[in-house]
Structure 1
Amino acid sequence: MELINPQTEAQWKAYFALRYSVLREPWNQPLGSEILTDEQDAIHIMAIANNEVLGVARMHESASNQGQVRCVAVATDQQGKGVGKAIMHALEEQAESKGWNEIVLEARENAVPFYKSLGYHIEQESYLLFGEIQHYRMKKALNLSE
């Protein structure tokens, strides 16, 4: 598995296709709803192997010295195999290199145990997506080395 920042048109197409198929399509959301208005301002990571996209995620600066992870998606047949963990580790390293001291995210209820295993803690219950997917605001302090 290799972690890259999508660069080519084909890579971006595959990146958004996975995001759509995992995070939007199962809830009958329209194609295009997986693309956010601030994509150009975010850091994007995708995990690939044998020209197949295994997982994707993005992070942007949401406050001074704070990154926010959004749109984490791992292909259904790749879940539980370390793809999400590798992506999150890469995003945390990028946040630390920017001097950000914490990361926040809005986790779907079924993903809370995954994020807890990575050191994130629940701050509060947040919103209900599509009228059925409870989200939780989670945070992790980063260990910045001087």
Structure 2
Amino acid sequence: MEIRSPENPEEWEAYFQLRFTVLREPWNQPAGSEHLADDSEAIHVMAIENKQVIGAARMHQSKAGQGQVRCVAVDEAHQGRGIGKLLMQNLEQQAKALYWKEIILEARENAVPFYQSLGYRIEKESYLLFGSIQHFTMKKKL
């Protein structure tokens, strides 16, 4: 398995398809909703194995010295293998290389224990997505 940025149109398509399949489709969101307005300004990483994209994540600078992680997704068939951890470690290394001091994220309630295991702390309860998915603002100092 390799963690890196998408490099060609086919990989970008598979990257966004995974984001849609994991993060949008189960809540009956339309195709295209997996794209964010600032995707062109973000750092994107994926986990790829046997030419298949099995994990995806992105990070952008939210303010001076701070990155924000969004859209972390691991293919259901590959969950529990540490892929999400590898994606997050890669983004944290890139944030450190940019001299960012912290990372924030909005974690879905079911993902809070995962992020806590990586050293993120809950700052506050935040928004309710699609009327049913509670999110929590989490932060980690680098």
TM-score range relative to shorter protein: over 0.9
* Aligned residue number for residue 75 of structure 2: 75
* Aligned residue number for residue 10 of structure 2: 10
Deviations 1:55-83 (A, max 9, x none): 00000000110000000000001111100
Q: Aligned partner of 2:17: which letter?
A: A
Shift of 1:54: 1.1
What is the alpha-carbon root mean square deviation over aligned residues? 0.4
Shift of 1:103: 0.1
Distance (Å, rounded) in 2 between the aligned partners of 1:36 and 1:64? 21
Please identify runs of 4+ aligned residues in structure 1 that moved more than 3 A.
Answer: none
Shift of 1:7: 1.9
Distance (Å, rounded) in 2 between the aligned partners of 1:80 and 1:68? 23
* Aligned residue number for residue 98 of structure 1: 98
Q: Secondary structure at the match of 1:122?
A: strand
* Aligned residue number for residue 50 of structure 1: 50
TM-score of the superposition, structure 1-length normalised? 0.97
* Aligned residue number for residue 40 of structure 1: 40
Deviations 1:13-69 (A, max 9, x none): 000000000000000000000000111100000000001111000000001100000
Q: Aligned partner of 2:65: which letter?
A: N
Distance (Å, rounded) in 2 between the aligned partners of 1:124 and 1:80? 26
Q: Secondary structure at the match of 2:123?
A: strand
Between the two proteins, the alignment pairs up a number of residues equal to 142
Distance (Å, rounded) in 2 between the aligned partners of 1:78 and 1:99? 32
* Aligned residue number for residue 28 of structure 1: 28
Q: Secondary structure at the match of 1:11?
A: helix
